[in-house]
Amino acid sequence: MEAVKKRNVLKYIGLLFSFLLALLFLSPFYIIVVNSFKSKKELFQNVLSLPKIFTMNNYKQAFKELDFLISLLHSLTITAVSVLLIVIFASMAAWMLERTKSKISNFIFMMFIASMIIPFQAVMLPLIRISGKLHLLNMGGIMFMYLGFGASLSVFLYHGFLKSIPMELDEAATIDGCSKFQIFWYIIFPLLKPISITVAILNTVWIWNDYLLPSLVINKPDTLTIPLRTFFFFGQYTKQWNLALAGLVLVIIPVIVFYFVAQKHIIKSVASGSIK
């Protein structure tokens, strides 16, 4: 009886401690949101208090200067198309590589795996030079680049998942007269749905937040993504924190919305992608 009581007390202390930690984790969000509603003068006087007068002016101006809807559209387009390309071509390749037992197939797979360790900086400079020559320094080009960079991890994840799908399925379909394309698209691809969700989420988070590659490839006013715009916007307003913070809150909102919509899938995906 005593032991149970003691354990209960411990449990509540643990819970209380966890909630305090959670508050600490949330405090940066509180701080930027609160200060984004203040005037420049009020922010300067006190960064900890709630705003005395809520002003939406910061948001109005940040929205305009970030070209928010346009940047959002660029980010959405690049992310959606790139992720779609990765899901389609990585799953196709992984299926063939998993089902074909040959030296060349094995070699290609090992090559994909080995490149997971290549840091971006190692290929950055020649990549920009080569893609300049190939006319890839544009929106279409960056999607192609994401396909190239996303290949390794995505093929690896699909390959692992495909091992659990019995080969007999393929064979039965072949006997029934299906072509390779029919087998893949009608039978295999629908079975890959769980891993496709994982691959899509991992690549979405990476591409959405990516800064360095777009800064080198599509650094022109009419193709700026959210991270690029944020960078320029912030550089312009470091002395006007109220405005800069309103901008930061704006660009975080889509991420938070995505998180609350797909939370379960996101946490699961991120855990299974941790081998990288």
Partner 1 sequence: MKKRNLSFWYFVGPILFAYIVIQLMPLLVGIYYSFTDWNGINSSVKLVGLKNYISAFKDSSFGQSFLFTAKFTILSLVILNAIAFGLSLLVTRESKASNFLRTIFFMPNLIGGLILGFIWQFIFTQVFASIGKILGIQWLQGWLSDGKTGLYGLVILMAWQMSGYLMIIYIASLQNIPPELVEAAQIDGANAWQRIKNIVIPLVRPAFTVSIFLTLSNSFKLYDQNLSLTAGGPANSTQMLAMNIYNTAFSFNQMGLAQAKAVIFLLIVGAISLIQVYFSKKGEVEA
The span from the CA of 151 to the CA of 163, in Å, is 18
Contact between 157 and partner 1 per CB under 8 A: no
Contact between 124 and partner 1 per CB under 8 A: yes
Contacts to partner 1 from residues 53-72, by CB under 8 A = none
Mask 159-178, x = binds partner 1 (CB under 8 A)?
--------------------
Contacting residue, 8, 9, 21, 52, with partner 1 by CB under 8 A? 21
CA 190 to chain centre: 23
Q: Minimum distance between the CB of residue 56 and partner 1, rounded to whole angstroms?
A: 20
Q: Residues near 53 by Cβ (< 8 Å), separated by ≥ 6?
A: 39, 42
Contact between 236 and partner 1 per CB under 8 A: no
Q: What is the DSSP string of 193-231?
A: HHHHHHHHHHHHHHHHH--HHHHHH--SGGG--HHHHHH
Residues in the interface with partner 1 (CB under 8 A) total: 82
Q: Is the Cα torsion angle 150, 152, 153, 159 positive or negative in sign?
A: positive
The CA distances from residue 232 to 74, 150, 225, in Å, are 16, 27, 11
Contacts to partner 1 from residues 191-230, by CB under 8 A = 205, 208-212, 227, 230
Q: Minimum distance between the CB of residue 162 and partner 1, rounded to whole angstroms?
A: 12
Contact between 248 and partner 1 per CB under 8 A: yes
Mask 80-99, x = binds partner 1 (CB under 8 A)?
---------xx-xx-xxx--
Q: Is the Cα torsion angle 256, 261, 265, 268 positive or negative in sign?
A: positive
Contacts to partner 1 from residues 132-151, by CB under 8 A = 134, 144-145, 147-149, 151
